[in-house]
Amino acid sequence: MTPVLLISGSPSATSRTGRLLDHVAELLNGAVSLLHLRDLPAEPLLLGRDHPDIVAAERSVAEADVIVLATPIYKAAYTGLVKAFLDGLPQKAFAGKTVVPIATGGTQAHLLAVDYALRPVLSVLGARHVTRGLFVLDTQITPLAEELRPRLRELADEVNAVPLRAVA
């Protein structure tokens, strides 16, 4: 069991969103695992078919106490990878979990995507608590902007304060 699951919804292997999740992971206490949705097989993901990698990803969600979901924002919404993955999860897959939405984007115009695109679907999936989330401009990630460091620390402190189930 991994109490904290970081999910990257970026289709790029060299994404700034992935780099941001790496910074978050460094600040978290305890067991943390990372799921890159881009590594899941496309056809079973899109068609909702059983596949060992999809089943393993869903099991990771089920076993996590906290989920940090990070996605770049394209055309004012989260990526198609995130959409396909969330659509394939059971209706209340996030029940009893704390979910932290993180979005990255090229301009401040995408700022509200966390609240208007991502937060509603996380709530529908039954999240016990969806944190206020975080929007980060691409230019703040590489290199990591000084003004972003306290915001990441605050996010990590909030995650680290979530009571986790005992790991057997």
Residue 107 tokens, joined: 């301009």
pLDDT (tens digit per residue) in 134-165: 999 999 999 999 999 999 999 999 999 988 77
- Is 8 a residue whose pLDDT tops 70? yes
- For the chain, give the mean pLDDT: 93
**Residues 102 and 69: beta-carbon distance below 8 Å:** yes
Q: Are 101 and 39 in contact (CB under 8 A)?
A: no
Cis bond upstream, residue 143 (ω within 30): yes
Judge whether residue 60 has pLDDT over 60.
yes
Distance of CA 149 to the CA centre of its chain: 18
- Residue 168, pLDDT > 50, answer no
Q: How far is CA 50 from the centre of its chain?
A: 22
Residue-wise pLDDT for 82-122, tens only, equals 999 999 999 999 999 999 999 999 999 898 999 999 999 99
Mean pLDDT over 13-24 rounds to 95
Q: Is the pLDDT of residue 44 over 90?
A: yes
